[in-house]
Chain A
Amino acid sequence: MNVSTHTVSVEELMAWLDGEAGDGQSDAIAAHAESCGECRQTAAALRSVSQQMAAWDAGSPTPEFDNRFERKAGDRVGRVVGKARMPRLLPRTRAGRWAAGLVSAGLVVAFLLRTPNRQMKTVSELRPDDRWISTDRNGPADRFSSARGRDSVDGGLASAGIDVVNGLPRSRAVGTFGKLQAPETAPAPAAPVAAEEPLIARTATLAIVVKQFDSVRASLDAILARHRGYWANLTVNTAEGSARSLNADLRIPAQELAVALADLKGLGQVQTETQSGEEVTKEHADLRARLRNSRETEERLRAILLQRSGKIGEVLAVEREIARVRGEIEQMEAEQKSLEQRVQFASIQLTLSEEFKAHLGSALPAIPVRLRNALVGGYRGAVESLVGIGLFAAGYGPSLLLWALILFFPVRAAWRRWKRSVAAA
């Protein structure tokens, strides 16, 4: 076996030749190089390389070098004195530069991802006093979030002939609202809402995971009764081997919405929650005006009919016209009622899901079926991913390209500046 007897490495030997060996090592390396024939040869080879390299003389600058530099530099050399320092565009420390870079990148991403004409915000994005977002950009977005806003609604209802107690219409009646069947406890549509106040149709969606699914239906009914609301649609899914779920479209008096939502959230763990508001003031005012005109037209036609001065054919024509106008009036009245219903009763799309716990006893599907389903799911997932990538590229590609072009030169300049500062350090 060949055992090395060298006490220094060849790199240490080279460092010693270059005068780069440590103070304590120089003597030891020199002694070893003196005694070791192999290291002497290595040292000689290294010296030989250095000597051969020294043969390449690059020469001196040409005589014009100084003059050319003076012409190039102009008066820059003299102007270093008192030269006003440009304000630093980037922070001095590396951490600061990283932070500035991240903030800039965040701003760019936020700008790119900003959705124009956004009408709905998730609750987590809303400030406490900004819960209700009106689609009318001219109107105050959070009018109904304040006590003053609520008072104005109550005042509007009261002025319209509705008896208001604690923000709620007192009069209740059994009624049919479009195709929706309301329970007896549900309030009837009230008298026309005063048109002077902004009318906001509020909607909310809520997805909750509950532990005790069996008792949730009773709790839901209790909440609806407490807030004098009703459900317009209710679907319960109890598929075997999977979590049970309940989908309900609830109607709650608008003034009760916040409290009702709080009660509903108490049923379990909230997964998602969104709230939005749509202003329908203009639509309502337009409908009222058209309704008034149609009623006046009907009255005039009835007055003509009472005179009975024309032929029978003309009388029949007037009656047909009255029937047509009457039909229009009834249709518009229905629309008005529906609109006011949307304003008075907020809509909550509620999804209650059971916290699923698998049971050992449940029969599992056959493995080939599961494999096939997994393959189909995988294929769909792959296709969806490809489509998603394509959509992303189509949707954001031009913007990203534009920003890349805009940011290229500043970033390059900043990068060079950073490199210069690193070199200077």
Chain B
Amino acid sequence: MDQETGMEHSDERLMLEFSQGRPEAFGELFRRYRTPICGFFRRRVTDPARAEELAQDTFLAVVRGAARYQPKALFRTYLYAIGLNILRKERRKATIRGFILGGQTEAANPAARDTSEAGLLLRESLGKLDAMDREVLMLREYEQLRYAEIADVLGIPVNTVRSRLFRARLALRDLLQAKAPQRAAQIEART
């Protein structure tokens, strides 16, 4: 925050200041995005501890790339693009690990791995969506990215984002409606 004017600096300005040698600017960015980035990985990776490590890696990548940073896009787009790259790398490693060691890959279905009761139906349904549709939907609903930002992060056209998002929402609605009675029956049987 600008102490003289009382106005908050934009993310891009903070990142520029950090790239020009003001570590406090990064501290502010870290404060702003630590929770969203942790949430980004927690919703996509099975192990919460691993999710935090990946979130830390994301911020580390921002630090490493600060000298080359150019404000061509919004900082949060830049940040989530880094996060998505790290996530892809993690999934690739998990796939290779699963291929070599056998068994299931823990990151293959990241949205359907939480064992808590609350929202389990939602996570199971999300896990059944097409991977790209799910990513578009989650970036919109949880990271609150705009359509153009999602398009930038995923490298797809905005119209594709729009159509995939609509498709994902309707598919999720159908899955939730179909699973709700089954879930209620399971809970009843347990009680």
Chain B binder among A46-54, A131-139, A173-181, A333-341: A46-54
List 30 interface pairs A-B (beta carbons < 8 Å), by A numbering: A11-B162, A11-B166, A45-B173, A46-B169, A46-B173, A50-B141, A53-B137, A53-B172, A54-B141, A58-B38, A59-B42, A60-B38, A61-B38, A65-B52, A65-B55, A65-B56, A66-B30, A69-B60, A73-B59, A73-B60, A80-B23, A80-B67, A83-B67, A85-B68, A421-B68, A424-B68, A424-B72, A424-B78, A424-B81, A425-B72
Please, which residues of chain B bring their CB within 8 A of the CB of A52? 122, 176
| A contacts with B: majority SS | helix
| B contacts with A: majority SS | helix
Please, which residues of chain A bring their CB within 8 A of the CB of B60? 69, 72-73, 76
A264 CB, nearest partner CB in chain B, Å: 61
Please, which residues of chain A bring their CB within 8 A of the CB of B142? 53, 56, 58
Please, which residues of chain B bring their CB within 8 A of the CB of A80? 18-19, 21, 23, 26, 63, 66-67
Question: Are B166 and A14 touching (Cβ within 8 A)?
Answer: yes
Please, which residues of chain B bring their CB within 8 A of the CB of A54? 141
Interface residues of B in 19-41 (CB under 8 A from A): 19-23, 26-27, 30, 34-35, 38-40
**Does chain A have a CB within 8 A of B182?**
no
Binding site for A on B (CB under 8 A): 18-23, 26-27, 30, 34-35, 38-40, 42-43, 52, 55-56, 59-60, 63-70, 72-73, 78, 81-82, 85, 118-119, 122-123, 137, 140-142, 146-147, 155, 162-163, 165-166, 169-170, 172-173, 176
With A65-B56, A419-B85, A420-B65 known to touch, is A53 a contact of B34 (CB < 8 Å)? no
Question: Are B141 and A425 touching (Cβ within 8 A)?
Answer: no
Query: A55 vs B147: C-alpha distance in the bound complex, in angstroms?
Result: 22
**Does chain B have a CB within 8 A of A382?**
no
With A68-B56, A419-B85 known to touch, is A424 a contact of B69 (CB < 8 Å)? yes
Instruction: Number of A interface residues at 8 Å Cβ cutoff, please give it.
Output: 43
Question: Are A68 and B52 touching (Cβ within 8 A)?
Answer: yes
**Does chain B have a CB within 8 A of A81?**
yes
Question: Are A11 and B34 touching (Cβ within 8 A)?
Answer: no
Query: A81 vs B70: C-alpha distance in the bound complex, in angstroms?
Result: 16
Interface string of A82-105 (1 = CB under 8 A from B): 110100000000000000000000
With A56-B119, A60-B35 known to touch, is A76 a contact of B162 (CB < 8 Å)? no
Binding site for B on A (CB under 8 A): 10-11, 14-15, 18, 20, 45-46, 48-50, 52-62, 65-66, 68-69, 72-73, 76-78, 80-83, 85, 419-425
A134 CB, nearest partner CB in chain B, Å: 53
Nearest-CB residue, chain B, relative to A64: B52
B183 CB, nearest partner CB in chain A, Å: 13
Nearest-CB residue, chain B, relative to A54: B141
Query: A45 vs B34: C-alpha distance in the bound complex, in angstroms?
Result: 32
